[in-house]
Homo-oligomer: A and B are copies of this chain.
Amino acid sequence: MPVEIITSLQNPRLKRLVRLRDRRPRDEERKFLVEGFREVRRALEKKVTLDEVYFSRDWFLGSNEPALLAEAEASGASLFELSKEAFAKVAYRERPDGILAVAPQWQRTLADLRLPAVPFILVVEAIEKPGNLGTILRSADAAGCDAVIVCDPVTDLFNPNVVRASTGVLFSVPCVVEGGEAVLAWLKDRGIRSVATTPGAKALYSDSDLRGPLAIIMGSEQYGLSEFWLKNSDLPVRIPMAGQADSLNVAMAALITLFEAVRQRGAPGATR
B residues near A239, Cβ cutoff 8 Å: 259
Residue of B nearest to A139 (CB): B252
- A interface residues, tally (CB under 8 Å): 37
| A254-270 Cβ-contact flags toward B at 8 Å (1 or 0) | 01100110110001111
Q: Once bound together, how far apart are the Cα atoms of A255 and B249, in whole Å?
A: 12
Interface flag for A144 (CB, 8 Å): yes
| A231-255 Cβ-contact flags toward B at 8 Å (1 or 0) | 0000000011111101111001001
Which of A97-105, A168-176, A188-196 lies at the interface? A168-176
Q: Once bound together, how far apart are the Cα atoms of A241 and B262, in whole Å?
A: 10
Interface flag for A198 (CB, 8 Å): no
Which of A42, A142, A144, A252 gathers the greatest number of chain B CB atoms within 10 Å?
A142
Interface flag for A49 (CB, 8 Å): no
Q: B259, A242: Cβ atoms under 8 Å?
A: no
Q: B241, A142: Cβ atoms under 8 Å?
A: yes
B residues near A168, Cβ cutoff 8 Å: 244
B residues near A206, Cβ cutoff 8 Å: 263, 267
| A108-145 Cβ-contact flags toward B at 8 Å (1 or 0) | 00000000000000000000000000010011011110
Residue of B nearest to A249 (CB): B138
Q: A240, B260: Cβ atoms under 8 Å?
A: no
Interface flag for A78 (CB, 8 Å): no
| Contact A141 to B260, CB < 8 A, known contacts A204-B270, A255-B252, A270-B204 | no
Q: A243, B204: Cβ atoms under 8 Å?
A: no
Q: B204, A167: Cβ atoms under 8 Å?
A: no
Q: A244, B139: Cβ atoms under 8 Å?
A: no
Interface residues of A (CB under 8 A from B): 42, 135, 138-139, 141-144, 167-169, 172-173, 204, 206, 239-244, 246-249, 252, 255-256, 259-260, 262-263, 267-270, 272
Closest 8 CB pairs of A and B: A144-B242, A141-B243, A240-B269, A242-B269, A142-B247, A240-B270, A240-B267, A138-B247
